[in-house]
Each structure stands twice: as C-alpha cells, then as structure tokens.
Amino acid sequence: MGEPVLVVSDLRAYYRTSAFGIEREVRAVDDVSLTIEANEIYGLAGESSSGKTTLIKTIAAAIQPPLEVLGGSVVFNFRDRRVDMHGVDRQHLDAIRWKNLSYIMQGSMNVLNPVRRIRHAFVDFAFRHIGKPMPLFLAVVREHLERLHLAPEVLDAFPHQLSGGMRQRVTIALATVCRPDFIIADEPTTALDVVVQKSVLAMIHEIQRELGSSIIFVTHDMAVHANLTDRLGIMYAGRLVEEGRTADIFRAPRHPYTAHLIASLPRLGDSAPKKGLDGAPPNLAEPPSGCRFHPRCPRATERCAREAAPMASLAPGHRVACFYPEPERSA
Amino acid sequence: MPGYLVYLLTRLGQFALVVFIGINIAFIVTHATPIDPVEQSIAAATQFGSTSPEAIALMRQSLKELYGLEGDLAHQYAAFWSRILVGNFGPSLSAFPTPVSVLIGRALPWTVSLLVVSTVLTWVMGNLLGGLAGYFHRSRALRLAGILAMAFHPIPYYIVAFLLLIVFGHVWPILPISGGSSMNMTQEWSWAFVGSVVSHAILPVASLALVGLGGWFMGMRALVSNVVTEDYVTYAELGGVARRRILAAYVMRNALMPQVTGLAMSLGAIFNGAIITEQVFGYPGIGTLLVSAVHAGDYSLVLGITTVSIVAVSIAVLLIDLLYPLLDPRVRAR
Amino acid sequence: MWRTLRDLLRFNRQFAAGIVLLGIVAAFSCLSFFSPYPPNDSFVVPPDVPPSWAYPMGTTSRGQDLFWLLSFAIRNTLLFGMVVAILSRALALVIGLVAGYSGGLVDRALMSINDTFIVIPLFPILVLFYFVMRDHMSWGLLALMMACLGWAYDARLIRSVALSLRTREFTQTGIFSGMSTRQILVEEHLPYVLPILFSTTMNNINWSIGLEVTLSVLGFTDINTPTIGVLIYWANQHTALVAGIWWWLFFPVLLVVMTFIGLFLLAVSMNEHIDPRSRLGRS
C-alpha cells in the first residue's frame, strides 16, 4: 500500500459560544488521529452528538464560527497534489473541491437548490473541473448518469419532482462525476426507507470500486457499516475509542463501548432481551474526567476516572483507547 | 398543468373575495351613519357660492341613488353594487357636472406611476442591500445601512414626507415641493416637461422609499440569514461553487420568493402611504383628490375613490400573484 | 419572566434603548395629570412665546402652553394606540388560534378573509368613515373602527404558531385525556402564543398611532380632542412653519418619532428573543 490519502493528526475542534455573558466551550472533537488509505471505505460510527459530524466538517474544512479548530492537522495526499486543509487559503480549497474531494450529504431532500433544474447543479459544481465546452460537458454528464443507471432526463427535472431515493442517487452521480480521489459521505442513507437504502448503498459501493476513490462513510447504523466498510472507527464523546478492520471489530470488539454497540445489534435467532447502557451520553461542555466513558463503563476503575487511556495497538491495525480492553474472543 | 390551474383559480377567487369584502365594508360604513348624508353633502357642497336649484335637485337625486337610500335594505344593497359594477359614480358635486370617473381617470396615472416607480425602486434596493447585509453580515458599511434603514422604517409616511418638506422646502430649498409639474408648462413630450415631472417626483418618491426600504431590508436580511443555513447552500459551498453564483442563484433567489408574496401583502399599506405623501406634496393624484373631495363634501368622489382604490390594489395584488409562479417552479409544475 | 426582562435589559442594547425612549415618553405623558390649567383651553398664556424657562416648549398661537398641552396630547395618543391594540389583539388571537388549531376548511376560509383585510387599502375606508360621520366622529369610534380593520396581519402570525403547536405531542395528549378545544387552546397553546402577541402589540400600536396621526393631521378626526396629530393639524392651520413658530411642530414630531422608534425597537428585540435564528445573522 502506498501513502495514505488522508492523515488526521491530533485534531481538536471546539464550539465556542458566548451568549448573555456566559462563555461555553463544547469539545466536539478532542485529539482524534486517523489515516485512510487509497481505495478503501472507512466507516465512522457513534451515537448522535458523539462528534462524527463535527469531525468530518473539520476534515472538509467546512468550519464556521462558533466551531474552531484549536490544534492538529488534516492533510490530504491527492493524486496530483498534497493539501493541508487548515493551512491553505480558500482559493486552494475551492480548486480541490469536487475535483479531488466531494461530498454526499445527509438530507438528500434539501441538498439540491429547489428552484433550479438538476442540470444547473451539475454545471455549477462540475463544469469548471471537466474543462470541456458546454455540449461536450453535458454529454459527459449524461454518460455518467447512464453508467449509474439513471435516465439522463433527470437533468431537466426540478428536485421536487424526484423521489427521495432518486434525489440521493442524483446527488451520488453529482458527487462522482469529476472522479474525485476522496468522497465524504455523511449519513447518506439515514433518511431513506430500507429498500431504497439498500440500492443506494449498492450504488455507492459500485462507483467506489470503479473509480478507486476512498470514502469516509459516517453513520450510526452498525448494520450499514458491517455491509459496506473496510475499516471502522468508533467515536464516543468527541474521541476515537476504537479502530480496526470492520470484520475484526464485529467479531471481537475490544473497547467496552464498542462491545456494547455490537451486543445490542439484533441477531437471527437471538431472543435474549437487550440491555441498555446506564446513564446518558456526557455533556461535551463539561466532559467527565479521564476516560469519557467511565461513568457508564462496566469495567471502569479509579484509574479510568483519573486519566484517559491513549489509543494503543492491540493487534496489527487494531487500536483501542482503554486500559482494560475486553478479552479477545475466538470466533 | 393542473398545479398551475389550481393556483390560478385560488388567486382569482381571492381577488374576487377582496373586492367583495372591500365593497361591503364601504356599504356598511356608508350606511352606519346617524346623519342624513344626502342633505349634509348638499349643504357642504353648496355652502360656498351659489348653485342653481335645478343642479341641487339633480344632485339630490343622484346622491340618493348613490347612497342607495331608496327602497329597503336589500334593494339599497343591489343598487349600490350595480352602480359600482358599471363604474358609474355620477357627477362630482364639487366639480359639477364633471363625472367622478373623469376626475379619477385624470388623477390615477399620477398615482400609479408614483407608486410603481417608488415601489419597484424600494423593493429592489431593499432586497439587494438586505440580502447583501444578510450574506456579508460582518460588513460595517452594510450594518450602518441597516441601522439607517431601521431608523426610518417605524416612522409613518406622513411624518417622513413632512420632514423632507421642511428640509428641502424651507431649510435648503433646492427641490420643488408642490405639484406634479411646473404650473406654467403645457403637458407635452418635451425634455423640459419631463424634467419638471421628474424633479417634482423626487421628494414624494424619496419619502415613500425612505419608509419602505427598512421593511424590505430587514425582511431580506432575516430571510437570507436563514437561507444560508439551508443544506443546498452548505452543499454548494462544499462544492466550491463560485461565491457570486451561490449568492445570486442559491441564496438571493430562494430568499426572494417570500418577499414577492410580501410585496403583494403590503401593497395596501404602500397605497395608504402614497395617498398621504401626495397630499403633503400637493401631487395631483388620487390622494390629493381624496382629501380635497372630503373638504369639499363631495360624497360621490369620496366613494368613487374608495372603490377604485380597493379594486386597483386588488388588481395589482393579482398581477403579482400571477407572476409568482415564474419564480417558483414548485407552483408551476406539480 | 423577570429574569428574561433583566437579561434583555442588560445584554440587548436595542431593548434597553427602546425601554428608555418609551420610559421618557410615558413619564412625560403622566405629567399631564399635574397640568396647572386645563390643557386644551386656549388663551390661558400669551401666544407665540418661544421656548424659555417659563414655557419650556413655548406657547402656541392659540395661547396654549405647549409643554402641558403636549403631555396631554401624547397621553391621548398612547391611550388610543393601546385601546386599538387590545381590541384588535382579542380578534387576532381568537381568529389565529381557531384557524391554526382547526386547520382544513375552517383555516382556509378564515385565512382568505384574513388576507383580504391585509390587502384592502384601509386609509380610503377610514376617510370614507370620517366623511359619513363628520361631527359624530370621536376618538373611541375611530379606535373601534381601526381595531376591526387592523387584526389581520397578526392573526396570520398567531395562526402559524398555532399550526405548529397542533402537531406537538402535548396537544395530542390533551385531546386523548379529554380536554375540550377551548381548554386546549387556552391552557396549552396560549402560553406559547403570548410572547408573539406581545411583540405584535408593539407593532400594532405603532401602526394605529401612525394612522391616527395621519388622519388627524388632515383634520379627519375629532379635532377638539388633542392628540399629537391634532396638535400638528392646528399648527398647520395657523401656518406655524411659515410664521416661524417652529417649536409648535418640532416638539410634537420629536415626541412621536421617539415613540415610534421606541416601540419598534422593543418589537424587534422581542422578536429576536422569541426566534433566536434571526440573531445568528448578526452575531
């Protein structure tokens, strides 16, 4: 394997607000490091408000006040250039957007401008990167749509004339038309019904294999991760707590939180009642001391309340942030 | 396109309802009076100068019909409507025997052009500045513009017009403060006459614009600051779409749609403002005509102007409503 | 409630400025109770005296002390605005809540009527009203008439809030636990509508005072009850501007502009407080 496409190191991003004279600091992403290789689908899992969305916003350099990056770096190694996302100006960012780095967002209902035809979206996003005169550009777009089994007639439709699933497929076509190196997919299937979800996932998988792009795929839905992703990172309260090959994590989760997530998945023929986790997710404005999971952790000791365990490799390619990881189970 | 058809029928129905209710209010108001309106009007109309007895008899007859005082209430109601539907308000009492419709027809173009010019100017400027202020919300110049627009906004048309009259008529007299054009000019298509009309229109337009600007400005600024958080704007920014394109085709375009509806909704209030402004500057439109009609006790003219105002504003609202689908594809095709 | 007010006063400059402006106007209007002579009587003081220690705002050509006259006039003007606001609030509240809660056909019918009242040009109708009433026109009658015509815009706002409340869980809970429609509207929905009602009150007072001033200035009201508009009317009748008696116009206009801006600032800052989304834009 060559150089990784994305290197995130020691990233810290906080929301800082001040209203009615009260300062607040929400530590949404705290000390996260991860790398993503070429041609892989990296899954990012965790419950809502675990910092997943903030992490990818920061990776995409789509940060706006009150979100601030306080430390660390996000570096992409694209085919033709290397970009430090928080060290370059907006012109450089605009130059790589959609050409090297594209997005598939949550809420397919609303990502397309409701008053313009789909064709205009393709022109606005991709025309400048394809570098062909308009008729040829549109031919490229049509060809691309056909490859994704979409009728080219959708170009003349308004977003409200398409179904939710159709809109998400159009968005995927839009995100891949420039053959980007890296695609950020933020809960792209969450709002869709199960049948449509399946076909959209198949579509993402197919186009990824064809283009050889890397994808960071964010969802709280563990079943989707099991079916789609190559590697998986688990976030809890703004920190990455476990990372490894998807198959390994599902077979033998090592962090107590991951173990809980996986144990709570329904299995065929399993009739035992699922146990919920005690307590609520921590308030990130005042996170617990030490390991942020310790107040809810069945394995926690005094040490966990004092200091946070660093990410440590337990096996090649399998990192866990826990002093007392779950024992390795054999399948 | 059934979607458009449904929309069209709804708007036409609303138009009919506005005219219907408006005219009914006028009927109720004119019939709620405890005094004998006919004799009072005649007394008011004839108190200056001598009017021939025949003319007074004619007036009395026409007034009785116009007030619909003949017969029972149902009959009166029907008579009221039939007068209005054919647009026949009889002769004016103060400018006897000129028909009311002629007087209104003479004044209406002045009011319509004053309204169209000032409304279009105000709406475009307010939305443009407000939209920019919402998008570049850190700009100091735009914030200052916002404060200025907000300062004039709550003050009624009359006061602003009056202040402009004082400033540009008495303190620093550089602009004509009365009339629609210079008195001694013939109405013709010459540079001098057009120039005179334009210079006479500056202060009325300015006072309408000063009051109106703030509302559009603040409305658009609030709309834009909501639209910029919409997913399609975020997505376009993530896509590196050119900023100008985002501002024009994504942000402004979407924020503008409620402002068009808002324009239709506020035409009535803008019309009120125009009437008052005209009166302050002696502009020869409907407003000045209305006020002088009241002072002269000219009932036919007052009722005629009220009715024409209701119908004219409703037509303007209908026109905007019918143009709206051009902007919003969701109404055009469903 | 009090905490909110205190926080608004401390951190929202618009709100604080609005309160200060209105406070000055209100305090001034209260002075009218201490007037040394009946405020509307004419020729109790020498006419056309410029502002001085004896007459802080000067006197009018009709021999009235402008200071005391103005305090009485602004009191009437404020009272007028409040009466119209209270009456039209009642209409707006009932129509808005019923339309929003009922939905469907009732909602559409009420909103059609509502939009009609928004669109109809009210000024000619009010002039027509004055025209047929003439000397029978009074302050209270005008207030009643304006309340009947001025509820529509705010009814629409209240209806949109009620519409969103209807789909909330507590409404369903209320229905299932057997509360009557009236109970749900009054006990469950009213508290959510009150803040909006409050900010629309400010806008409505502004609107009605503005129209009253305009009608009075033209002489289309009861010109014997002093209000700000009536004062300006008499000043114009005596061609005060040409005669150089500027104070007769300056102080009424100053006071009424202070009132408008004060009410407007309160409405804006309260809106912001109710809907914090509009605050983000100007952080």
Q: What's the complex ipTM?
A: 0.85
Alpha-helical segments (H) within chain A: 52-59, 90-96, 118-130, 134-147, 164-176, 194-211, 222-228, 246-251, 256-263, 302-306
**Model pLDDT for residues A139-194, shown as the tens digit of each residue:** 999 999 998 889 999 999 999 888 888 888 899 999 999 999 999 998 888 777 88
d(CA C149, CA C117): 7
**Model pLDDT for residues C122-142, shown as the tens digit of each residue:** 889 999 888 888 777 888 888
**Are C11 and A20 a contacting pair at CB < 8 A?**
yes
* Chain A neighbors of C11, CB-CB under 8 A: 20-21
Alpha-helical segments (H) within C40-180: 66-102, 104-119, 122-133, 139-149, 152-166, 169-176
d(CA C149, CA C125): 10
Structure tokens at C152: 């529509």
Output B79-84 pairs: Cβ under 8 A, ≥24 positions apart.
Answer: B80/B23, B80/B27, B81/B23, B84/B23, B84/B307
**Are C132 and B35 a contacting pair at CB < 8 A?**
yes
Strand pairing of A182-186 and A101-104? parallel
Coil, helix or strand at residue A267: coil
* Chain B neighbors of A178, CB-CB under 8 A: none
Least confident of A28-32, C86-90, C163-167: C163-167
**Are A20 and C283 a contacting pair at CB < 8 A?**
no
Position C279 scores a pLDDT of 42
Extents of the domains making up chain C? 70-280
d(CA A21, CA C7): 10
In chain C, % of residues over pLDDT 70: 96
**Are C218 and B279 a contacting pair at CB < 8 A?**
yes
Strand pairing of A67-77 and A82-84? antiparallel
DSSP H or E run through C278: helix C277-280
- Give the list of residues 6+ apart from residue B3 with CB closer than 8 angstroms, or none: B331, B332, B333, B334
* Chain C neighbors of B306, CB-CB under 8 A: 124-125, 127-128
The top-level CATH class assigned to B109-300 is mainly alpha
Position B259 scores a pLDDT of 92
Count H helices and E strands in chain C, helices first: 14, 0
Average pLDDT, chain C: 83
DSSP lists the bridge partners of residue A24 as A17
> Which residue in chain A is spatially nearest to C276 when comparing CA positions?
A19
Structure tokens at B166: 């004082």
Burial of A221 (0-12, 13-18, 19+ CB in 10 A): middle
**Are B235 and A158 a contacting pair at CB < 8 A?**
no
* Chain C neighbors of A20, CB-CB under 8 A: 7, 11
Q: Among B240, B219, C123, which residue's Cα sits nearest to residue A98?
A: B240
**Are B231 and A94 a contacting pair at CB < 8 A?**
no
Answer positive or negative: Cα dihedral of B62, B67, B72, B78. positive
Distance from CA of B115 to the nearest CA of A (A): 30
Main-chain dihedrals φ then ψ at residue A184, nearest 5 degrees: -100, 120
Coil, helix or strand at residue C222: coil
Please indicate if any CB of chain A lies within 8 Å of the CB of C283: yes
pLDDT band at C23 (very low <50, low <70, confident <90, very high): very high
Write the DSSP symbol of residue C65: B
> Which residue in chain B is spatially nearest to C119 when comparing CA positions?
B268
d(CA A95, CA B279): 59
* Chain C neighbors of A21, CB-CB under 8 A: 10-11
Position B129 scores a pLDDT of 93
* Chain B neighbors of A98, CB-CB under 8 A: 239-240
Please indicate if any CB of chain B lies within 8 Å of the CB of A120: yes
Please indicate if any CB of chain B lies within 8 Å of the CB of C134: yes
Coil, helix or strand at residue C196: helix
**Model pLDDT for residues C204-218, shown as the tens digit of each residue:** 998 999 889 888 988
**Model pLDDT for residues C42-81, shown as the tens digit of each residue:** 777 777 778 888 788 888 878 788 888 899 999 999 999 9
Position A135 scores a pLDDT of 92
d(CA B95, CA B296): 10
The answer on pLDDT for C282 being more than 50 is no
Chain A to chain B Cβ contacts (< 8 Å): 66
Q: In what order do the strands lie in the sheet with A231-236?
A: A101-104, A182-186, A214-218, A41-45, A231-236, A239-245, A318-320, A312-315
- Give the list of residues 6+ apart from residue C30 with CB closer than 8 angstroms, or none: C71, C75
Give the alpha-carbon dihedral of A254, A257, A259, A264, to 10 degrees: -170
**Are B32 and C268 a contacting pair at CB < 8 A?**
no
Structure tokens at A253: 């989760």
The larger pLDDT score, comparing residue C268 to residue B135, is at B135
CATH number of C70-280: 1.10.3720.10
Closest partner CB to B221 (pick from C214, C256, C281):
C281
d(CA A52, CA A46): 7
- How many Cβ atoms from other residues are within 10 Å of residue A123's Cβ? 20
Give the alpha-carbon dihedral of C216, C219, C225, C226, to 10 degrees: 60
Mean pLDDT of A267-271: 71
**Are A107 and B333 a contacting pair at CB < 8 A?**
no
Distance from CA of B249 to the nearest CA of A (A): 8
Position B34 scores a pLDDT of 64
Position B51 scores a pLDDT of 66
d(CA B317, CA B324): 11
Radius of gyration of chain B (CA): 24
Residue pointed to by tokens 């009325």: B204
- How many Cβ atoms from other residues are within 10 Å of residue C23's Cβ? 11
Cβ-count burial C166-196 (b if 16+ within 10 Å, e if not):
beeeebeebeeeebeeeebbeebbeeebebb
Is C28 in contact with C56 (CB distance < 8 Å)? no
Average pLDDT, chain B: 84
* CB contact residues (below 8 A), chain B span 252-271, against chain A: 253-254, 257
Average pLDDT, chain A: 87
Strand pairing of A22-36 and A6-19? antiparallel
Burial of C276 (0-12, 13-18, 19+ CB in 10 A): exposed
Extents of the domains making up chain B? 109-300
**Are C7 and A20 a contacting pair at CB < 8 A?**
yes
d(CA C85, CA C79): 10
* Chain B neighbors of C124, CB-CB under 8 A: 275, 290, 305-306, 309-310
**Are B329 and A62 a contacting pair at CB < 8 A?**
no
Position B47 scores a pLDDT of 64
Position A155 scores a pLDDT of 93
- Give the list of residues 6+ apart from residue C94 with CB closer than 8 angstroms, or none: none
Please indicate if any CB of chain A lies within 8 Å of the CB of B329: yes
d(CA C122, CA C179): 40
Structure tokens at B324: 């709206």
d(CA C110, CA B9): 18
Position C277 scores a pLDDT of 47
Coil, helix or strand at residue A90: helix
The answer on pLDDT for A74 being more than 50 is yes
Chain A to chain C Cβ contacts (< 8 Å): 5
**Are A21 and C11 a contacting pair at CB < 8 A?**
yes
**Are A21 and C283 a contacting pair at CB < 8 A?**
no
d(CA A323, CA B120): 70
CA distances from B271 to B151, B197, C94 (A): 21, 20, 28
Please indicate if any CB of chain B lies within 8 Å of the CB of A88: no
Q: Does the bond joining A66 to the residue before it have cis omega, within 30 degrees of 0?
A: yes
Position A87 scores a pLDDT of 86
Residue pointed to by tokens 């090649």: A316
The answer on pLDDT for A232 being more than 90 is yes
Please indicate if any CB of chain B lies within 8 Å of the CB of A145: no
Distance from CA of C11 to the nearest CA of A (A): 6
Burial of A231 (0-12, 13-18, 19+ CB in 10 A): buried
Type of residue found at C61: S
d(CA B294, CA C220): 9
Type of residue found at A25: E
* Chain A neighbors of C283, CB-CB under 8 A: 65
Position B46 scores a pLDDT of 67
**Tens-digit pLDDT string for chain B (334 aa):** 567 788 888 889 999 999 999 988 888 887 766 666 677 667 766 665 556 777 777 777 777 766 656 667 787 788 778 877 887 777 777 776 788 888 999 999 999 999 999 999 999 999 999 999 989 888 888 888 888 888 888 888 888 888 888 888 778 887 777 777 766 666 677 777 888 888 888 899 999 999 889 889 988 998 998 898 888 998 998 888 998 999 999 999 999 999 998 898 888 888 988 888 998 888 899 999 999 888 887 878 888 899 899 999 999 999 998 888 888 887 765 4
* Chain C neighbors of B275, CB-CB under 8 A: 121, 123-124
Please indicate if any CB of chain A lies within 8 Å of the CB of B138: no
**Are C11 and A65 a contacting pair at CB < 8 A?**
no
Q: What is the pTM of this model?
A: 0.84
Closest partner CB to B34 (pick from C131, C136, C213):
C136
Answer positive or negative: Cα dihedral of C31, C35, C39, C44. negative
Mean pLDDT of A20-38: 85
Q: Candidates 2.40.50.140, 1.10.287.130, 3.40.50.300, 3.40.470.10; correct CATH number of A6-229? A: 3.40.50.300
Highest mean pLDDT among A285-289, B169-173, C167-171, C183-187: A285-289
**Model pLDDT for residues C208-253, shown as the tens digit of each residue:** 998 898 889 888 888 888 888 898 898 888 887 778 888 888 899 8
The answer on pLDDT for A265 being more than 60 is yes
Position C281 scores a pLDDT of 35
**Are B234 and A94 a contacting pair at CB < 8 A?**
no
* CB contact residues (below 8 A), chain C span 3-42, against chain A: 7, 10-11
pLDDT band at A331 (very low <50, low <70, confident <90, very high): very low
* Chain C neighbors of B10, CB-CB under 8 A: none
Please indicate if any CB of chain A lies within 8 Å of the CB of B244: no
Extents of the domains making up chain A? 6-229
